[in-house]
Structure 1
Amino acid sequence: MPDPTQPSCLREHHGFVRVAAVSPELKLGDVAANVAIIRSEMQRLAGEGCRLIVFPELCLTGYSCADLFYQRSLQQQALNGVKQLAEANAELGCCIVVGLPLAIQGRLYNVAAIIGDGEILGYVPKTFLPNSGEFYERRWFSPAQTLTDTHTDGDGTPVGTDLLFEATDLPGFVLGIEICEDLWTVIPPSSHAALAGATLLANPSASNEVLGKFNYRRQLITQQSARCLASYIYASAGAGESSTDTVYSGHSLIAENGVLMGETERFSFETRAVIADVDLQRLEHERMRSTVFRDAAATQSYSRITFNLGEQETVANKALQRTVSPLPFVPPAGADRQAVCEEIFAIQATALARRLRQTHSKTAVLGLSGGLDSTLALLVMIEALKRAGMPRDAALTITMPGFGTTSRTKGNAEKLAEALHIPLRTIPIGAAVEQHFKDISHPPGLHDVTYENSQARERTQVLMDVANQTNGIVVGTGDLSESALGWCTFNGDHMSMYHVNAGVPKTLVKYLIEWCATELYAEEAGAILHDIIDTPISPELLPLAADGSMEQKTEDTVGPYELHDFFLFHFVRHGCGKDKILFLAEQALGEKYGREVIEKWLTVFLRRFVQSQFKRSSMPDGPKVGSVALSPRGDWRMPSDYSGSAF
């Protein structure tokens, strides 16, 4: 039987919850009209699958009512309006946050009402009241700290800044509230709420517009979501609010852990809403990983008010409302490509230069195959030599043709070294490997793993010995994707004296070389680099076809690197299990590959990742470049004996 405490929606099963921030059309002082607008938008968004809908500060009356807030009739209308919204909320399967003025024990408070399961769950009063410049809230409202009771007059609804609202039927849904100015203070109340367990932080706001403020507001919200490892839902009053001395734009935003998920168009008189699916599982994973978050103690105790969201029978919009990048390691199209690539090169080259200086090396020795990884390593090595104050001819590149080397890759290696004015030696390995086969009694026609690995280890031996001859170090070429898959020969290309590409996945390797081809080395080697990018990825360890073409292609054996890098990112960075990775991959890459293909290669990835930990446990030093790294000394610690039963 299905578990009634677990979400029935596939999206929610994977930890996603749909939230919305709304800037509604407003009629100042007309509570009945505002209730009708809010009710209509609540019903519409619930039909879209939204589980949390946040409306602006004092939205039932309007923020600009000024001395009208003293009118008992307006206060009572607002209170009645909240009750009407609670009745309308029953059976919708969503929680809403609305703002109103609320009289408690002879004082007036600016509060947010939290409504769920057809009930008013509680009120959270504003803590910090702006009272300078164009703001003078202290004229009407009292700050939260003046409350002397924890329940409202009459119906006994909980009230206070120490309330969190937890949906028991949607794991991870814990809502904390702060109001407008609360966010702009030195230590926002949402910081304490997050430390107490709130994953969703809602801010009903009435933030006016002055020149440049919207950028600051956006930065403030995204940064607070990052500091709190939370989703931040910010709903602001719209253009219909006032024209007296200030203008409001309806700038509503949703952020998740430092990333802006969406925002509304500003300065519209019509109702505007921004919707996003935020990942509660990801937020909980980030909090478990972050020692500084775990070690920070909440200085305020909170009461959790529990409720059931209930099921949403018909959801009009079932598609995931968030961008899932098919290339999570590659910057998006709008990114400053030059700045990104220059930073990555600086990280890699500085690291290698430091190691060259530390070892007092006279040379940097590299096996140049004409493939992607060795090409990137060479380009980084040139920059590292410059940073280390060493001449360019200290770069000693060696091409080592074997049984599967094609004329295309060998030719590209030769042309690249020539174009970049780098010394290149050619040392064929065929005779040495054939002698080795005789030594170990291996049939030369048996093209098994021994046949392949013998070549990789012979190449590594050549590089190591040349490095010894020239008082240098061997610069490894293996990348992050190969480390994840174990697609490297143990004590062969798995080994070097410094792994400069260790933190760069295959999809990012291509991105960097493309930049070099069009920007950094366009005139010297651009055409060669473009041909290297277009060459199928291969270790070239099996004999060529009769026509001299490449028989062995890596992605035919282990699967597309585009998929594997996607799997790697979500498995290591966000701790996703197999089912969730499959779900996300279908969102991002389903049209290109289809579910069966994705599932096939995901199974391969997980099996190879687990089985290859022993290789990573003894991998050489190399620089961390992005948020995912597999160094056993830094980011990834996993027993080599793990059975992988969880996958």
Structure 2
Amino acid sequence: MKDGFVKVAAVTPDIRVADVAYNTQNICKMIDETVAKGAKVIVFPELCVTGYTCSDLFTQDILLKESKEALFKIAEYTKEKDAIIFIGVPLAIDGELYNVAAALNHGKILGLTTKTFLPNYGEFYEMRQFRPGPDKARWITLDGKQIPFGPQLLFVADQMEELVISAEICEDVWSPVPPSTLAAREGATVIVNCSASDETIGKASYRESLIEGQSARLICGYIYANAGEGESTTDLVFGGHNIIAENGTTLVSSERFRNEVIYTELDVKRLLSERRKNTTFQTEKERMLIRIPFSIHVEETELTRKFASRPFVPSVMAERNLRCEEILTIQAMGLKKRLAHAHAKSAVVGISGGLDSTLALLVSAKAFDALGMDRSGITAVTMPCFGTTDRTYQNACKMSLKLGATLREIPVGAAVEQHFKDIGHDPEDHSVTYENSQARERTQVLMDVANQTGGIVIGTGDMSELALGWATYNGDHMSMYGVNASVPKTLVRHLVHYYADTCKDQELKDVLYDVLDTPVSPELLPPKDGEIAQKTEDLVGPYELHDFFLYYLLRFSYEPGKIYRIARYAFDGEYDDATIYKWLYTFCRRFFIQQFKRSCLPDGPKVGTVALSPRGDWRMPSDACAEVWLRDLEKAKPVGM
């Protein structure tokens, strides 16, 4: 449960219809198995103590008596089990029969959640035996104890206040306004569903989308445990389709037509972070629901859920291609509007032969096509200087011409040397002054060429560079419209690759593939033996790590120690712990001290859920301190560092 992770399980036990003793034995067996694997929240199907398909046997006193005794027996069995467990049971109260999810914890029956919506259509006929639960929860006496009974009970973990659980039963989630909606608005971060949903053609995909949708609307974890083999097949078949979702995403689901257990870890701190940022998620001002404390020990949870090492890049190729096309279109449409609004006759792009400027040039071509303008209006400017290699120079020229842009070569070396004389800088001193003078001279050239051609300067810098501050202030940091401003470096590569894969010009393909093979570099230091001497990732660290850090810091507000923990899982086999820690420390430090560059960014289109625009997604003081974040990371420092 460290860092907000809670291991949970959805269980489909083997049962026999109306064989309460057999069912009780198997439920207890599965409690043992799931607790042994570290599950803290365990959910069983609807009416699993008796079987959902007992039909009119539910009117038999002997079955109801047996099921009540089984409830007490299972509750007692949980006495030494460190978990909260939900089981489905029929329960007769005040002469009426109810479909109930019982919450059990350390030998106690904490509460009895009633089913609100009883299906009485198609294959379902529940109102023949059961009554809907009360509108509001009340207290009843059961086995001499006062126990909450009704809908939307909230079970609150004593040792982990973020973990608040509420239950609903099967049809409840299919209703227009599920009971879980109010429960979430009063603080429930996890919803459990004891269900018995039969299998028909197409129902499985709808069921999964329903659970995903509810978890997304409520920004919650959702544990759905479904009845399976063992239920009566007189008219129906139950497939044991268990689902665990978190905020719109299925984390794990079971194979249908097999009785099995699924496990994963829900991140309740992440859910609360999402709720705080989402102003449309409005909590109830007055608490109306009964809150019941329960106890589980807080301990380190072994993580089994997957964390994508490249969270900005879809892992499935078909989805990746769709994403790339959509992003290129968003970038191009943003630039199209800006060009039209400014009555620009040209778009001026500083083209280096690197990834970022290549993407900016491709987007410019797409925008010009959308405007019906001739691509010759794109002025691609190559500005060779001290660090330019023949490889990048040739690629810059070739791709500009193949795309139909107007290529201009403006060497800036002489101007920079004159600038060194003006400010009294020794050209042999390859310090930051040496590097930034070149970047600022290039930006001045681009701005003046834009004036000459009646155009605007298209920014090339990407979001990863902005996060690290890896840009020269008032140099490549500045433009009139930054088309790559919310595209991370790992995604830039895939966008260029996608364009290369889908374009029909073989020569252009070859150039783009060579750009992709070229090391990332600002090329501000002289080459060594004709090769790039200055490799960005050697200086600031691998962009795939930085993009991972950026995603989890901004998207989910993870603290650095937690980011370090999940990065070790995500990059297992790629980077050792010391390397991950080193570059995460660098990221946190640079992210804070370089905010001043992000506070005055040019306009640019947002393309994803993470962006750094000071006018939109990220508004941060330029002089904020990083100490709190760095201290948190210090606690996770690997031994020996």
What interval of TM-score do these two structures reach, taking the shorter chain for normalisation? over 0.9
Matched, 1:413 2:396: yes
Which of 13, 19, 31 aligns to 1:30? It is 19
What's the CA shift for 1:28?
0.6
Following the alignment from structure 2 to structure 1, what is the Cα–Cα distance between the partners of residues 323 and 114?
A: 44
Which of 266, 270, 274 aligns to 2:256? It is 266
- Could you tell me whether the CA contact under 8 Å between 2:152 and 2:167 is conserved in 1? no
Which of 296, 302, 308 aligns to 2:289? It is 302
What's the CA shift for 1:334?
5.4
- Residues 148 and 384 of structure 1: is their aligned pair in 2 closer, same or farther, counting only changes over 3 Å? closer
Following the alignment from structure 2 to structure 1, what is the Cα–Cα distance between the partners of residues 163 and 298?
A: 14
Identity %: 52
Matched, 1:237 2:219: no
Matched, 1:350 2:350: no
- Could you tell me whether the CA contact under 8 Å between 2:540 and 2:586 is conserved in 1? yes
Q: Secondary structure at the match of 2:15?
A: coil
Q: Give deviations 1:579-637, integer Å, cap 9, x for gaps.
A: 00100100101321111111110010011000011000000001111110000000001
- Could you tell me whether the CA contact under 8 Å between 1:162 and 1:300 is conserved in 2? no
Following the alignment from structure 1 to structure 2, what is the Cα–Cα distance between the partners of residues 406 and 148?
A: 74
Following the alignment from structure 1 to structure 2, what is the Cα–Cα distance between the partners of residues 118 and 534?
A: 62
Stretches of structure 2 lacking an aligned partner (at least 5 in a row): 630-641
Matched, 1:63 2:52: yes
- Residues 298 and 145 of structure 1: is their aligned pair in 2 closer, same or farther, counting only changes over 3 Å? farther
Partner of 1:377: 360
Which of 338, 353, 356 aligns to 2:321? It is 338
Partner of 2:181: 191
Which of 416, 425, 434 aligns to 1:433? It is 416
Matched, 1:95 2:84: yes
Following the alignment from structure 1 to structure 2, what is the Cα–Cα distance between the partners of residues 631 and 592?
A: 31
Q: TM-score normalized by structure 2?
A: 0.96
Regions of 4+ moved over 4 Å: 146-149
Partner of 1:8: none
Which of 468, 481, 484 aligns to 1:501? It is 484
Q: Give deviations 1:356-388, integer Å, cap 9, x for gaps.
A: 011010000000100000001111111111112
Number of residue pairs the alignment of both structures matches: 628
Q: Give deviations 1:94-125, integer Å, cap 9, x for gaps.
A: 11110010011111000000011221101000
- Could you tell me whether the CA contact under 8 Å between 1:177 and 1:202 is conserved in 2? yes
Partner of 2:636: none
Partner of 2:639: none
What amino acid does structure 2 have at the position aligned with 1:126? K
What's the CA shift for 1:162?
3.6
Which of 572, 594, 601 aligns to 2:554? It is 572
Matched, 1:510 2:487: no
Q: Secondary structure at the match of 1:150?
A: strand
Matched, 1:75 2:57: no
What's the CA shift for 1:520?
3.0
What's the CA shift for 1:145?
2.4
What's the CA shift for 1:79?
1.4
What amino acid does structure 1 have at the position aligned with 2:360? A
What's the CA shift for 1:72?
1.5
Which of 589, 593, 597 aligns to 2:575? It is 593
Q: What does 1:525-564 align with in structure 2 at a 5 Å threshold?
A: 525-545=508-528, 547-564=529-546
What's the CA shift for 1:391?
1.2
Partner of 1:290: 278
Matched, 1:106 2:89: no
Partner of 1:201: 191
Q: TM-score normalized by structure 1?
A: 0.95
- Could you tell me whether the CA contact under 8 Å between 1:104 and 1:152 is conserved in 2? no
Following the alignment from structure 1 to structure 2, what is the Cα–Cα distance between the partners of residues 148 and 480?
A: 50
Partner of 1:3: none
- Could you tell me whether the CA contact under 8 Å between 1:58 and 1:111 is conserved in 2? yes
What's the CA shift for 1:149?
4.5
Following the alignment from structure 1 to structure 2, what is the Cα–Cα distance between the partners of residues 327 and 300?
A: 41
- Residues 415 and 635 of structure 1: is their aligned pair in 2 closer, same or farther, counting only changes over 3 Å? same
Matched, 1:257 2:247: yes
Q: Secondary structure at the match of 1:474?
A: strand
Matched, 1:443 2:450: no
What amino acid does structure 1 have at the position aligned with 2:198? N
Moved more, 520-529 or 614-623: 520-529
What's the CA shift for 1:438?
0.5
Moved more, 184-193 or 521-530: 521-530
Q: Secondary structure at the match of 1:250?
A: coil
What amino acid does structure 1 have at the position aligned with 2:225? A
Following the alignment from structure 1 to structure 2, what is the Cα–Cα distance between the partners of residues 298 and 245?
A: 46
